[in-house]
Amino acid sequence: MPEGVIVKALSGYYYVKPLENGMAASGGGDGIQCRARGIFKKKGVTPLVGDHIIYSHTENGEGMVDEILPRSSELIRPPVANVDLAVLVFSVREPELNLQLLDKFLVHIEHSGLDTVICLTKQDLLSVEDPREDPAAVVKELYENIGYQVIVSSSRLGLGTDLLQERLKGQISVFSGQSGVGKSSLLNRLVPGLALETSAISMRLGRGKHTTRHVELIELEQGGFVADTPGFSQLDFLELGVEELSTCFREFASYADQCKFRGCSHTHEPGCKVLKAVEEGKIAASRYEHYVLFLTEMKDKKRRY
């Protein structure tokens, strides 16, 4: 039976493209419309966009998902499998840059074991002359020092598009971030003729409408796919253990190994090298504050459940 990859899931249907040399065949629209066998529901398993599957053709010209092949990665929110790269899209204006939310997304992605690119959008809305007052420049320096690639972009000006296209080549990438930050506009720039729906920002609420209502893999001209996903304004940590949180802050690693106590929470213990690094300015204060905030949030949630 043939192998394929699910490129779209919508209303109980899975749209499958045949696999050629390990990658989905180019062209052919949405692919073959398939249903999933009832056995998956009995086992509590849901096929995901990005899944490599074995499928069969049915008499009505559609198909049936028969088997889900082992996944190399799996995101719970957004629900996508076999992703290589996460592109976290955040705007510098409209809505305002939210570093707490950015760090929440980074924790989620680090826990999933994916490589990450931070893409800052709407640079054209800034009119600052001093780089020290440019939030994009400040964020770029902060997160590149930690080890993340940061691409500053503007869909209106085409800024950063070429750099991002090169980074996405030959991979399955997931685009995610807060609603209204310009993910759809950015994808329209990356994929000519795509014409994804975009929406204006609600100035009262400071956030955009969710213009993307389902997860779908969008084919890139240079090879590879990107997953456009519904905009999320919050994430939760139910799938992440309290003891795992500090490992999702990658700049903690070299200091945490030297802590006096094994299993150090990096909040109050004597001889904590992470705390010392924060005091010495080697770890950014904003990152540490968010770590403590997330830790408290997770502990409170754990008590309630």
Q: Write out the binding residues.
A: 121-124, 177-185, 259, 264, 266, 272
At residue 126, the pLDDT reads 72
C-alpha atoms less than 13 angstroms from C-alpha of 73 in its C-beta half-sphere: 22
Which residue, chain included where needed, has tokens 């939210």?
98
- Say whether both 221 and 90 belong to one domain: yes
List C-alpha distances in Å: 81 to 21, 35, 85, 238, 255: 19, 18, 11, 19, 32
Instruction: State mean pLDDT over 169-176.
Output: 85
Q: What is the pTM of this model?
A: 0.80
Could you tell me whether strands 225-228 and 207-208 are parallel, antiparallel, or unpaired per DSSP bridges?
A: unpaired
- Say whether both 171 and 63 belong to one domain: no
Give the range with max mean pLDDT: 63-67, 182-186, 197-201. Answer: 63-67
CB proximity list for 207: less than 8 A, separation 6 or greater: 95, 178, 179, 180, 201, 233
- Say whether both 155 and 102 belong to one domain: yes
Whether 239 and 109 have beta carbons less than 8 Å apart is answered as no
- Say whether both 169 and 258 belong to one domain: no
Domain presence at residue 236: no
- Give the residue from 13, 43, 70 where a domain finishes: 70
The CATH code of the domain that includes 52 is 2.40.50.140
Give the range with max mean pLDDT: 53-57, 178-182, 227-231. Answer: 53-57
- Say whether both 156 and 269 belong to one domain: no
Domain presence at residue 233: no
Going by pLDDT thresholds of 50, 70 and 90, the confidence category of residue 50 is very high
- Say whether both 112 and 204 belong to one domain: yes
- Characterize 262-272 residue by residue with b for buried, 16 or more Cβ atoms within 10 angstroms of its Cβ, and e for exposed: eebbbeeeeeb
- Say whether both 119 and 256 belong to one domain: no
Q: Write out the binding residues for Zn(2+).
A: 259, 264, 266, 272
Q: Write out the binding residues for GTP.
A: 121-124, 177-185
- Say whether both 220 and 101 belong to one domain: yes
Going by pLDDT thresholds of 50, 70 and 90, the confidence category of residue 202 is very low
Residue 14 has pLDDT above 50, yes or no: yes
71-98 tens-digit pLDDT: 998 877 668 899 899 899 888 887 788 8
Count the domains in the chain. Answer: 3
Nearest residue to 73 via CA among 101, 30, 19, 115? 115
- Point out which residues pair with 88 in neighbouring strands: 118, 176
Q: E strands of the chain, at which residues?
A: 3-10, 13-20, 23-24, 32-36, 52-57, 63-68, 74-75, 80-81, 85-91, 115-121, 149-152, 172-176, 201-202, 207-208, 216-219, 225-228
At residue 286, the pLDDT reads 97
- Say whether both 259 and 147 belong to one domain: no
Whether 87 and 117 have beta carbons less than 8 Å apart is answered as yes
- Say whether both 88 and 120 belong to one domain: yes
- Say whether both 253 and 292 belong to one domain: yes
Domain presence at residue 130: yes
Residue 303 or 6, more confident? 6
The CATH code of the domain that includes 286 is 1.10.40.50
Domain presence at residue 124: yes
Domain span including residue 94 = 80-228
- Point out which residues pair with 228 in neighbouring strands: 175, 216
The CATH code of the domain that includes 147 is 3.40.50.300
At residue 28, the pLDDT reads 57
- Say whether both 219 and 148 belong to one domain: yes
